[in-house]
Chain A
Amino acid sequence: QKEVEQDPGPLSVPEGAIVSLNCTYSNSAFQYFMWYRQYSRKGPELLMYTYSSGNKEDGRFTAQVDKSSKYISLFIRDSQPSDSATYLCAMRGNSGGSNYKLTFGKGTLLTVNP
């Protein structure tokens, strides 16, 4: 089993839809959970992060972490064509040792159609 599993999609939705993106993981030492957004032919950029369990909201984006299920989600409300990109989940443990290294999911390609 890979450390981080992410459905690669592709996912195609109409403008205004609610989008749900998910990752599962196996390493219980992961404490920091991040979502990166990568536009076509660009480098990834950090979108949101969460420490440990819980929810975090930023505008139309909500990140959720359920450590008991080893499951993280990113919700996008009122999706816009400008949200069309590949979304990568990433995670790491706390400080110390090699815990600055991120483990990435393979990314989900999202297209929001006008």
Chain B
Amino acid sequence: NAGVTQTPKFRVLKTGQSMTLLCAQDMNHEYMYWYRQDPGMGLRLIHYSVGEGTTAKGEVPDGYNVSRLKKQNFLLGLESAAPSQTSVYFCASSFSQDRPLREQYFGPGTRLTVT
């Protein structure tokens, strides 16, 4: 199993450009999440999905859109990139049932720089 994979690993955008980050998981997890991690700010939830075709806003959703057309994929879109969106983006996934833990598994991250 590959676990959680993210594409691309690195990207440099100019202000105003758009892009899509792709997250894929092969663990049959129902829940998927997008976080951003910035120095001194920790991990902040952008959007999440509790199942195919559903999405919801997290803590810092402005400037981002998401889609979950297939259970295994969760896409994060930036329609008009801004320098404030320079960050490391992590995708995570987990089961939905209340297993003892319902651990979130994280991908390796995408480093995005907006100039």
* A interacts with B: yes
Kindly state whether residue A95 has any CB partner on chain B within 8 Å.
Answer: yes
B42 with A104: CB separation less than 8 A: yes
Segment of A14-22, A41-49, A59-67 engaged in the interface with chain B: A41-49
- Dominant secondary structure at the A interface: loop
A43 with B104: CB separation less than 8 A: no
Kindly state whether residue B2 has any CB partner on chain A within 8 Å.
Answer: no
Kindly state whether residue A88 has any CB partner on chain B within 8 Å.
Answer: yes
A42 with B108: CB separation less than 8 A: yes
Report the bound CA distance from A100 to B31 in whole Å: 9
B42 with A44: CB separation less than 8 A: no
Report the bound CA distance from A100 to B42 in whole Å: 18
Number of interface residues, chain B, beta carbon within 8 A: 26
Find chain B residues with CB under 8 A from A34 CB: 101, 103
B101 with A88: CB separation less than 8 A: no
A8 with B40: CB separation less than 8 A: yes
Q: Give B60-115 interface residues, CB cut-off 8 Å to A.
A: 90, 92, 94, 96, 98, 100-109
Nearest Cβ on chain B to A67's Cβ, whole angstroms: 18
Kindly state whether residue B43 has any CB partner on chain A within 8 Å.
Answer: yes
Find chain B residues with CB under 8 A from A36 CB: 106
Q: A43-B90, A51-B100 are in contact. List 13 more A-B contacts (CB 8 A).
A: A32-B101, A34-B101, A42-B108, A43-B4, A43-B107, A43-B108, A43-B109, A46-B101, A88-B42, A100-B94, A100-B96, A105-B42, A106-B41
